[in-house]
Structure 1
Amino acid sequence: MKSDRQLRAQSLAKRFKETGRKPVVLEFAGVPKAGKTTTLGQIQAFLKRCGFRVSVVVERASVCPIRDKKHANFNIWTTCTTLSKLLENTQSPPRPDDPDVLILDRGLFDSLCWLTMMVRLSRLRREDLRAINSFLRLDEWKKKISAVFVMVASPKDSLMRERGYLPVTGAAGSIMNPEVLDQVLKTTRDMAKRLQSEFRINIIDTSSKKLRDNAQATAEHVADIALDVIEEQLREDILCIPKVKIASAFSRKVCLKTLETSKVLKCFQEFGRFQPREEVEKDANLVQAIPVVIVRNRTGDILQLRRREASYTNPLHEKLVIWAGGHVRSEDGTSKEAILRCAVREIQEELCLSIEPDKLKLLGSVYVRKGERTSKHAAIVYEWRADTDDVAVALSNAEFFERRGNSLSGRFVSVNNLVRDISGGKVEEVWSQEIVREFIVSDPSAFPLRLFE
């Protein structure tokens, strides 16, 4: 008879095939002989049997060519090789053969712990640690790791497990001795507290009364947490607001300029909430926040994109637009900066542009009441202008957009040509029309009257 845990995992595996956006990355870290390898193996086998495609990045320490395990270069080598595998298996968009679940047998968090340990052992200077930390704690890389399982055990238990059933008296390793193990445990717990805002950390204490000498209970506990992580990633909670609030902010207008848009942002901050996307899409009384970015080259031409949607029935599929953007997800945070962070993330995902938030200029907002789909979304419009023609050349290359999010192809067009295309009916998408009319051109009278005026 199937357990509830198995039924849940199999259901999630099926959903992942249909709606999974990116691999779930689980890192296993911690002190030696805390049960990491055993638990990791159990989780891998369980998820695989339940229908997930699972890949494991094995611990690199066993193949590291640097002999001195206490030398900082040993940990730097293992970190960089693991990082390369993390980046390879979490590309955007995912490759057809990418795993559903990627398991790291020691990853970024674990490396940060060991390198900090090197400072305590006077094997690494603090100045060098700060430089390495800045590298390893890049926000984009940390966000790839969905959860970290920090396996800990007392030095006494670790040594007992190391000795096994045929102990050798007097034998002690460079790491497996009480003094070093005690330092490793303290460092690991300290780092878990220090980095709890940067990683989703789960402490698994296999010396605790509940888990000590109970590998099955440990595996079940970790499996339940892992399934929680997978379920949350599948759910895709998006920011929405009651329609009456957004209608009040816009009054009877379609577009609001920068100052008036501050009211819209305040509404989303005060009344917005994150709910499962599938529920929000069905509720006609909710409006979703959609930050969009207009990309311009140094001379002011605008990047025009042809959209590629997952469903051919989506009204935006193969439509010409002048923006890139998407839903504000819970991963963007819950503070007032969530909408701005979403805009930065969407530009990265859609166009592979890494830009600073302060380089985005708020132009205004658009809310069109006509149309069932359009009335469920409010656009927060930003502009980003390239400093060099090099960026413009890359963005104009059609190959650049191959398999990049929802952008199928792109090219820069002048404002005059864009006005002509809109007036001639070549650009039908309503937000693009309104953005050009209200925020780009100086004379809106150049356009025909709106159909919904």
Structure 2
Amino acid sequence: MDKPFVIEFAGPPKSGKTTILERIKYCIPFTLSIKNEVSFSSPVEKKKPLKYMEWSANELINRIITEEEITRKQVIIIDCGIASQLALLDAFEKSGRIALSDMGLSDLIRKHLLMNLQREDMIVYVRINFSKEADRIKNYKFPKGSIMNEPFLQVFNESYEEVMRSLKKKGMAEILEVDGELDPEKNAEMVNKEIIKLYKKKRK
């Protein structure tokens, strides 16, 4: 049996990636396994950024490896996978949430993530202009103590852009960019077509 085709859905909060993913799962012509964001089950608070990143990077990679070994599905979709972790780590650094004395460990986590990026066959990156993202989060109540406030989200959005640009420039990932401000139905239709095309190309 072929190795499952692994797709990451990436993008900042409220970019529209979950909306697209919800539509995709009903029309994609492959058997499908969807893995939720690792943060949903994290025992470590994001208020402790380095400990959180260390745990989430290891947990995410272990999940991908385990799912590749046990699943009989053709496609695995990871909600916020390795590229998303790289963007979050970058945002933690840029916002000063990781001390200079801890940068050595931060670099090791980044290298660990980059070494495993090849496990993903495709990244669907849903972009959004921060002003639009800010409008969408205006009335959203983040959990008490959440780091996801407007200043951090702006840095996070910028980190996503930088990380994706870098990965694309270095040819380290197959990235499909999607405008999260466009109609979600049309976006889902386009993403579905591109997934089918790349799946068939890689399975030749």
Instruction: Give the TM-score normalised by structure 1.
Output: 0.41
Inter-partner Cα distance in structure 1 for 2:179 and 2:50: 27
Aligned to 1:415: none
Question: Does 1:155 find its partner at 2:130?
Answer: yes
* Matches of 1:105 and 1:151, distance apart in 2: 12
Paired position in structure 2 for 1:68:
46
State the AA in 1 paired with 2:23.
Q
More strand by share: 1
Alpha-carbon separation, structure 2, partners of 1:215 and 1:151: 11
Q: Does 1:203 align with 2:177?
A: yes
Residue 156 of structure 2 aligns to which amino acid in structure 1? V
1:77 Cα offset (Å):
2.1
**Aligned 8 A contact 1:26 1:147 in 2:** yes
Is 2:133 the partner of 1:133?
no
Does structure 2 retain, via aligned residues, the 8 Å contact 1:159–1:176?
no
Is the 8 Å Cα contact of residues 32 and 75 (structure 2) preserved in structure 1?
yes
- C-alpha distance in 2 between matches for 1:62 and 1:116: 20
AA aligned opposite 2:58: C
Residue 36 (structure 2) aligns with: 58
* Greater relative CO, 1 or 2 (CA 8 Å, sep 6+): 2
Structure number having the greater helix percentage: 2
Structure 1 residue 205 displacement after superposition: 2.2
Match of 2:184 in 1: 215
| Distance in 2 (alpha carbons) for counterparts of 1:79 and 1:186 | 20
Give the CA deviation at 1:193. Answer: 1.4
**Aligned pair in 2 of structure 1 residues 45, 78: CA closer, same or farther (>3 Å)?**
farther
Q: How far has the Cα of 1:123 moved from its partner? A: 2.2
Residue 6 of structure 2 contacts residue 119 of structure 2 at CA under 8 Å; is this kept in 1?
A: yes
| Residue 37 of structure 1 pairs with residue 18 of structure 2 | yes
Offset of residue 80 of structure 1:
1.9
Structure 2 counterpart SS, 1:195: helix
| AA at the equivalent of 2:125 | V
Question: Given the superposition, is the C-alpha separation of residues 69 and 41 from structure 1 closer, same or farther in structure 2, using an over 3 Å criterion?
Answer: farther
- Name the CA distance, whole Å, in 1 between partners of 2:56 and 2:186: 30
Partner of 2:68: helix, strand, or coil? coil
Deviations 1:103-138 (A, max 9, x none): 001111111111111111222243222211222222
**1:69 to 1:40, Cα distance in 2 relative to 1, 3 A:** farther
| In 1: Cα distance, 2:191 partner to 2:47 partner | 29
1:329-344 → structure 2 map (5 Å cutoff): none
How far off is 1:173 after superposition?
5.7
Cα root mean square deviation, aligned: 2.3
Distance 1:173 1:84, change over 3 A: closer
Tell me which stretches of 4 or more aligned residues in structure 1 moved more than 4 Å. none
Separation in 2, partners of 1:220, 1:173: 34
CA distance in 1, matches of 2:54, 2:175: 22
Selected match of 1:176 from 141, 149, 152: 149
| CA distances 1:53-111 after superposition (whole Å, capped 9, x unpaired) | 200111121221222346222233222222111001223xxx5x421000001111111
Q: CA deviation at 1:230?
A: 0.8
Residues in 2 aligned to 1:63 and 1:131: alpha-carbon distance in whole angstroms: 23
Identity of aligned residues (%): 20
- CA deviations on 1:109-168 (whole Å, 9 max, x unpaired) are 111111111111222243222211222222xx322211001112122222322346xx78
Residue 106 of structure 1, aligned match among 65, 73, 80 = 80
The amino acid that maps onto 1:144 is: R
| Aligned partners of 2:46 and 2:147 also within 8 Å | no
C-alpha distance 190-70 of structure 1, shift in aligned 2 (>3 A):
farther
Q: State whether structure 2 residue 55 is matched by structure 1 residue 77.
A: yes
Quick check: which has more Rg, 1 or 2?
1
3-state DSSP of counterpart to 2:203: helix
Alignment of 1:334-413 (within 5 A): none
* Aligned equivalents of 1:30, 1:67: Cα separation in 2: 21
Q: Which residue of 2 aligns with 1:228?
A: 197
1:376-422 residue CA offsets vs partner (Å, 9 max, x unmatched): xxxxxxxxxxxxxxxxxxxxxxxxxxxxxxxxxxxxxxxxxxxxxxx
In the aligned structure 2, how far is the partner of 1:172 from the partner of 1:69? 8
Report the 3-state secondary structure (helix = DSSP H, G, I; strand = E; otherwise coil) of the residue aligned with 2:124: strand
Match for residue 313 of structure 1? none
Q: Where does the alignment leave 5 or more consecutive residues of structure 2 unmatched?
A: none
Unaligned 5+ runs, structure 1: 1-19, 236-453
| Number of equivalent positions | 197
Cα pair 1:57 1:82 within 8 Å, conserved: no
Maintained 8 Å contact 1:89/1:99? no
